[in-house]
Amino acid sequence: MNLLVAHSILRRLILFLFACALALPIWAQPPCDDDDDQISGTLTYSGPVCSGGTVTISITLDDDDDDDELYDVTYSIGGNSFFLDNISGLYTVNHTVTTTVTATLISIYDNEDDCLNTINSSILIVVFPQPAPVITNITQPGCGQANGSITANASGGTPPYQYSLDGFNFQSSGTFLNLSPGSYTVTIRDANSCSTSQSGIGLSGANAPFLTISNTTQPACGQANGSIAANASGGTPPYQYSLNGGNFQSSGIFTNLPVGSYTVSVRDANACQDSQTGIQLNDSGAIVLAVTASTPAGCEQANGSLTLSATGGTPPYQYSINGVNFQSGNIFPNLSSGNYQLTVRDAAGCTDVLAFEVGNTSGQLQSATVAEAMVTECPGELTLVSGNLPPGVTGVWSATTAGVVFETPNSAQTVVRANIPGVYQLTWTLSAPGCAAYSSAQVTLIVPVPPAADDDGPEQATNGQTLGIQTASNDNFDEGAVFTLLSQPTSGIASINAATGEIEYTANSGSTSYDTISYVLCAPLCNGQLCDTASVFIQHIEEDCSLEAEDNVLPEGITPNGDGFNDRLHFVVIDESTCPFNYAQSELIIYNRWGDRVFEASPYDNNWDGDNLPHGVYYYVLKVHLQQEFVKFGNVTIFRN
């Protein structure tokens, strides 16, 4: 081993043991005597020093000859020893301290002269306690604005304190205002410049709503009929809206607004607000109506016209010549002469009215008139119709259908005849020079249709029975016709409803054979000149011949064995001797159970005995053809021994 290296290692070991034991080494190095270079050293530190902070200790070495030799230094801090190798001049070391400690420069070893200087020079490093921040209040910012706050107080350390949010700018107050949402760090610095920070202080505020104006309707006609529609987004629903700082409402629509400037505000559930100002409503301007062209009427005809135009207001426009019926077109043809109240209406409902007269190029021509608007032509009468005939004017009568004859059609008064019953329209037409057929008037000519009354019956009646007979069912007549009895029947009492023609007939007791009721049917016009007569025939029958009697007994079976009893199918109501009228109108059909027709007779003589037919059930249809047909369905059984 190199002797120089070995010597250095040994030396350093001795110095280390010396520093650790703070006693004389086992192998003591010789002290530096007067002949050797004398070495001095001092310790200093920069302050103040805060607990948990770093202290910088300066070690200053000085020898007599100023030849900057290299030295090994042993020092201690708070009882802990440290060794520095090959230093000279000024040297600094850093240490973390938490409490006040003593730093000692123990020794300096001269590497060149191989001697040791014991120094044992100490200094007291004063360590100040750190202040601690305490967050006492946080106010969250609202509505997305910079209105939050943080309040901090200090404990420990040395007052007075200063506070900072960015670590650079300090203030004496621990309250920080006008803060936006975000994460903050509060730093506290005391009188000794000791500082401590607390980070991660979060401020989170609700977003403010955002207001938009979705629609405006301008007021029109000088009225308070404008509107503003606003919508909100963002923030926290539900929203409320206010106009010009007034009361809030749930709807964003404000109506019935006059011209002006408006401010709309919205407020959400967190009372955050947003506003839109300077919303201007302007009047769309008054609407003005004008007549741009007109054509006067001529010959008392509806052949005039008007052309209208409008300005201002809110298009599109609608026009009217009576203030009631409006149209989008501005031209009105086929107008008669006279005064008109012209009206224009715009999309906002504003109107303008203009009075205008449509002239007459033919002067004052009198209109056609008739003496009677309706006349009736009755048998044997002459029908006179009359119209006016102003001076200088000619006239003519005409009819819309054929069959009408005017005796003098060019006379204002003339006789008219119609050969066929009906309703006719007669026209009196006036013409003037240059104005053919300029005016006309109508007369309705009624030629009544004579009523037609038809006979009824025979109706069957038993002794003392009361019948209701509908005579009008087969009569032809106009509304308002009148029914009247001509005479009373001989075997009963009758009355008639004059409006409906229904006859009520009660047969006398003991009446037999036939009875007759006669009536007359007259049209409502012509004072009884248009009439017709008819009769109702009544057949008096025994009660056994009554087809509708509830106690009618109909046969249900026959026993054709030749014993003279129940050999034939017999119906009392059509017996030829007792009910001859029913018998004459009778008809009988018999079917077997398969629907085959096995017998038929008209009239039926009550003589069917089921000849050559086997025992069994058969089905019959009995008809009596009276005014109202009588039909009876039944079955009969043939019994054979």
CB-based contact 211:232 (threshold 8 Å): yes
Residue that has been written with the tokens 């001509």 in this structure: 486
Structural domains in the chain plus CATH codes = 36-128 (2.60.40.10), 132-203 (2.60.40), 210-281 (2.60.40), 288-361 (2.60.40), 374-443 (2.60.40.10), 458-541 (2.60.40.10), 557-638 (2.60.40)
- The reply to whether omega before 48 is within 30° of 0 (cis) is yes
Instruction: Give per-residue pLDDT as tens, 395-429.
Output: 999 998 888 899 999 999 999 988 788 899 999 99
- pTM to 2 decimals? 0.37
Q: State pLDDT tens for residues 166-207.
A: 999 999 999 999 998 889 999 999 999 899 999 999 888 778
Would you say residue 352 has pLDDT above 60? yes
Average pLDDT over residues 291-304: 88
Provide, rounded to the nearest whole percent, the portion of the chain with pLDDT above 90: 38
Q: Which one, of 451, 376, 373, lies nearest residue 417 by Cα?
A: 376
Q: What is the 3-state secondary structure (H, E, C) of 381-412?
A: CCEEEEECCCCCCEEEEEECCCCEEECCCCCC
Lookup: tokens for 507: 């047969």
Question: Dihedrals φ, ψ of 151, to 5°?
Answer: -120, 125
User: Residue 33: what pLDDT?
Assistant: 65
Beta strands 101-110 and 71-77, pairing class? antiparallel
Query: Smallest Cα–Cα separation from 490: which of 513, 460, 520?
Result: 513
**pLDDT band at residue 314, thresholds of 50, 70 and 90?**
confident
Two tokens, residue 638: 């043939």
Q: Which residue has the tokens 């205002």?
A: 177
- How many Å apart are CA 638 and CA 560, to the nearest integer? 8
Q: Residue 517 in contact with residue 455, Cβ under 8 Å? A: no
